[in-house]
Structure 1
């Protein structure tokens, strides 16, 4: 269960702090490490990641969703919802196994990417 801690924290930090970010920031980098346990962080020799953690958003106490498989958890991270809402419940899913609670105009559950796409389209309109 601990393997998605860093990914979900980075995403949570990005989504919760979007309005607080200065306007001059034009890019956001999302780093996800599959299978990375929080228990290893204090002893790990990873100076670059630890330097980014000093100035970024992160936590070592988040949890994965159930079932605890990579695809389901990545979907939950990118969509900001659990499997009962987005519908993906199995590894290798191309379409949701259960109907999504809501869908965008693209026929998929909203994700950080669809929100960014919609926002950028609104900004481009006169």
Structure 2
């Protein structure tokens, strides 16, 4: 009798464990590091970004321009416009950093589609490049711009990481977008290259902040997160404009990390516009052809 009772207890515990795993809710984080070259990322001491890469799938050559349209400048406006919407610049119409006639009403920030599919979902944007908050972000329950001065100081990125740590615990976000700006600032000031100490130092500082973000997320044991990491462009010398024929500028990177991600290295070409459909697909948001997304879901199990 005791043997059968013990077996029943084991089966009950297994069922309970399975139920707990099934109860985990899905959440997503789009993590942007402005102006970050992948070759510099791999040279820097980045244990937290290395951890994300090891627990997912990555590409060191995610292109910032598409096959159909290549006329926009290789700067932050078009880059983050494409990353946050999943469409190229001929659609969202941000051709440079001027934002003259953006079309984010027709091709909105991915939070819009999250909200359409999940009206009660909490969405959070924390950035320190003001045009993202001013022009791109929509359908955000929380939108924070930590930019204080005229340059992207470490303090601005520090403030972002602190905000994420608080919000992840208190607000229970379904979808977050987090942007770090200091790597791009270091590139413009000192040079975009793995041999530039200040550029490497900025990447390492951001990695430490990523660690605090991961720590906050991992405390939520009832949640399963998919984290997509990318950048809007690379760099050469102290700039990145007009880089249409320069691989050091055209190549960004894409990391898709989490329990729901594949492992290894992409064997196909991926693009920065693939971030949004990947996040939406993971959340279970059905993508409508009418949205005209240029990207595709990549790297998911």
Q: Structure 2 length as normaliser, TM-score?
A: 0.28
Q: Distance in 2 between matches of 1:59 and 1:33?
A: 15
Say whether the 8 Å CA contact 2:76–2:96 is kept in structure 1.
Answer: no
Tell me by how many angstroms 1:23 deviates.
7.3
Aligned to 2:32: 32
Aligned to 1:63: 63
User: Rg larger in 1 or in 2?
Assistant: 2
- Give the 5 Å matches for 1:90-101: 90-93=96-99, 95-96=101-102, 100=103
In structure 2, list runs of 5 or more residues that go unmatched.
Answer: 1-21, 66-71, 122-301
Aligned to 1:88: 94
The correspondence for 2:84, drawn from 78, 81, 88, is: 78
Q: Structure 1 length as normaliser, TM-score?
A: 0.62
Q: Distance in 2 between matches of 1:23 and 1:93?
A: 43
**116 and 94 in structure 1: CA distance in 2 versus 1, 3 angstrom threshold:** farther
Per-residue CA deviation, residues 62-121 of structure 1 (Å, 9 max, x unaligned), is 11234111111000011111100111112142741xxx4xx7xxx341331111111112
In structure 1, list runs of 5 or more residues that go unmatched.
Answer: 1-21
The SS at the match of 2:30 is coil
C-alpha RMSD over aligned residues: 2.5
The correspondence for 1:121, drawn from 116, 119, 122, is: 119
Query: Which structure carries more strand by proportion?
Result: 2
TM superposition outliers: structure 1 runs of 4+ over 3 Å: none
The SS at the match of 2:36 is coil
Q: Distance in 1 between matches of 2:23 and 2:41?
A: 32
Q: Distance in 1 between matches of 2:51 and 2:109?
A: 28
